[in-house]
Structures are given as C-alpha cells and as structure tokens.
Homo-oligomer: A and B are copies of this chain.
C-alpha cells in the first residue's frame, strides 16, 4: 500500500467527501449528490472557523477517508477543552484496512495538540460494529446520545 496522508480538506475535495458521506446505510438517506451547493457553503463556514477541522485521508492523490473534528472550550471539568468527532467515513475500497483507526488516532493526536482533555463522539445504536471499534480505541460508552431534529 502506498503512503497515507491525513490533512485538512480543500474545497476541490468536497465531491469525494460527500460521495463517502452518502455511501453509508444512514448517510444514503440523508445526503444528496445532485446539488452540492449546500456542502460548499458549509465547507466555507468550516474553513473560516479555527475550531473546525475537516480532515481527509489521501492515498495516491485520492480521498479515501474523512472526519470532522470540532474543538469546544468550556467551563465544566475545571475549564476543560473537549473535542467532538463527527462524520467518520472510510471509502468502500479501504474498509478493513485499518484506515478508520488511523483517522481516529489522528483526531486524538490533534485533540491533544490543541490542549483537549476529552474526546467525545456519538454513534447511532444501529451501527453495531462501531461500538467494538471505539471501545478497542479506548473510548468508554458512558453516555446516551440524544438528538432532536428541528
């Protein structure tokens, strides 16, 4: 396998990122590939926010993975800063290659570099493999994740 690089995404990579977001049992119902304009608008907002990191994993010039890392300062836990991981995706061709682990390890290292004391994420209860995956990486399933659609 050729070398993998994990780095901030650039605008030109939006189509590849959105294709991965959609190529997923839950994402397939939520994303639209016909009109990418809402994704470009959201990316511009992310790109201007120093607490937002849309990362891509790139192998041989091809985007094969992505996640969003958000840095959240806060008062709780003695003024701790935490990070939140969202939208983790690995390209179908790369599943089972350990790339998911590489992406999460990148997010943990980046969180540490930015002074976070806690990394958190939520995973849909229907993603049965995800629980084992995150537990293997040291995450504790200590919370219930609630969502309210507006």
7 contacts between A and B (CB under 8 A): A18-B75, A43-B75, A52-B72, A76-B86, A124-B142, A134-B146, A139-B146
- Asked if B30 and A77 sit within 8 Å, CB to CB, the answer is yes
- Which chain B residues lie closer than 8 Å to A147 at the CB level? 118-120, 139-140, 142-143
Interface of A is mostly: mixed
Nearest CB in chain B: distance from A47 CB, A: 10
Q: How many of these chains are in the complex? A: 2
Interchain residue pairs A-B with the least CB separation, the first 5? A143-B145, A42-B79, A38-B79, A139-B146, A122-B143
Q: Which of A130-150 contact B (CB under 8 A)?
A: 130-131, 134-135, 137-150
**A interface residues, Cβ below 8 angstroms from B:** 14, 17-18, 21, 27, 30-32, 38-43, 45-46, 49, 51-52, 54, 68, 70, 72-81, 84, 86-87, 108, 111-112, 116-125, 130-131, 134-135, 137-150
Nearest CB in chain B: distance from A99 CB, A: 19
- Asked if A27 and B76 sit within 8 Å, CB to CB, the answer is yes
A49–B27 Cα distance when bound, in Å, is: 30
Q: Which residue from chain B places its CB closest to the CB of A112 in the assembled complex?
A: B150
- Asked if B86 and A74 sit within 8 Å, CB to CB, the answer is yes
The 8 Å CB contact of A46, one of B17, B73, B141, is B73
